[in-house]
Amino acid sequence: MNIILVSDSLAKSRSVALSQTQVILVALGILMAGFFLAMATYIVTMRFSTDLRNPHLRALLSALHEEDLKRSESEMRDTLNSLAVRVGELQARIMRLDAFGERLAKAAGIKPTEFRFDEQPGQGGAAPSPATTRDLTLPEFRQKLDEISRVLDDRTDKMGVLDSVFMDDRLARKTIPTTLPVSQGYYSSNFGYRIDPITGKSALHTGVDIIATPGTPVMAAAGGVVSTVAFHPEYGNIVDIDHDNGLTSRYAHLLKSSVKVGDVVMKGQLVAQVGNTGRTTGPHLHFEVREKGVPLNPNKFFALDKKDGMVPVALRR
């Protein structure tokens, strides 16, 4: 091996020739020097690591240990904060679901003592043996929270559908004339064929007649929109209410009305007063229910609501 040396201090380059043996010896020397340097470093490190009284080493180890603890505490704090947020969200959703369930139970007519949402469900059993128990890992705990969240979403959706069904049913009942228009009185004529009090001939009576003193309040039998307020030669003063489901109700022979066309009325709202106008033999209220213009028996609708204060005479028979 020829080694050429070049330097600014030399007038000309020099060449050094090394044999193969010399090259091997130089390489071995370099390797041995590196090995002894590594061994010396290892011995010095082990010596200082076993000397716990060394203040510099203790300060270094303490600083590294504190840094690891701070990092671990920060990670644990972040994890606990995220889990606390998830638990808080689940608690809030459970509270909303409980309120949802109570409202549905009330709408379904379930007694509060039979189905209570504010009580923890009863659970129990024999104590498990230590061999069959273990602590949950953090990934398992997160998985449980995710499963609970999915179950709550599913239950909320299903209860929302039930609430919509109940709401539709409640709205439908409010627009069905199930309430007697007057709070006191008695039937003088029922629905169906009868002897007409004026002509004495058999004729279809398209409603029910309820005897009441003039001025007695007449209430809407169901919610709807007032479609007619007028005077009819036979019915006298009338008020017609459209219930927006093909049903209409008529209140006839009135003394006077308390509403006008286009008014939105609720079930039980005052609409008129009993009178003696039109084709009558005395003061009374003539009440009709029609479906698409076809007269129906009002007693069938009254039978849907047994909570009314007055039960028609026809229903007591």
Give residue 4's pLDDT: 64
Q: Kindly state the average pLDDT of the residues 181-190.
A: 86
Decide if 115 is inside a domain.
no
Q: Kindly state the average pLDDT of the residues 236-248.
A: 91
Contact assessment for residue 265 and residue 271, using Cβ atoms and an 8 Å cutoff? yes
**Range among 14-18, 79-83, 225-229 rated most confident:** 225-229
Give residue 69's pLDDT: 76
Task: Take residue 196 and report the two structure tokens written for it.
Answer: 């007409």
Decide if 124 is inside a domain.
no
Comparing C-alpha atoms, which of 299, 303, 273 is closest to residue 285? 273
Give residue 250's pLDDT: 96
Higher pLDDT, 157 or 212: 212
Give residue 60's pLDDT: 63
Comparing C-alpha atoms, which of 251, 256, 244 is closest to residue 289? 251
Q: What is the CATH number of the domain that holds 308?
A: 2.70.70.10
Decide if 271 is inside a domain.
yes
What lies within 8 Å, CB to CB, of 264 at 6+ separation is 223, 224, 225, 226
Average of per-residue pLDDT values in the chain = 78
Decide if 312 is inside a domain.
yes
Q: Kindly state the average pLDDT of the residues 251-275.
A: 94
- Domain of residue 27 covers 2-50
**Range among 40-49, 154-163, 183-192 rated most confident:** 183-192
Residues 299 and 178: their CA atoms lie apart, in Å, by: 9
Decide if 282 is inside a domain.
yes
Higher pLDDT, 139 or 240: 240
Give residue 200's pLDDT: 87
Domain tally, the chain? 2
Predicted confidence (pLDDT) at residue 206 exceeds the cutoff of 60: yes
Give residue 11's pLDDT: 60
Binned at pLDDT 50, 70 and 90, residue 317 comes out as: very low
pLDDT in tens, 61-113: 677 777 777 777 777 777 777 777 777 777 777 777 777 777 777 766 666 66
Decide if 291 is inside a domain.
yes
Decide if 181 is inside a domain.
no
Give residue 21's pLDDT: 75
Decide if 281 is inside a domain.
yes
Predicted confidence (pLDDT) at residue 308 exceeds the cutoff of 60: no
Comparing C-alpha atoms, which of 223, 232, 268 is closest to residue 252? 232
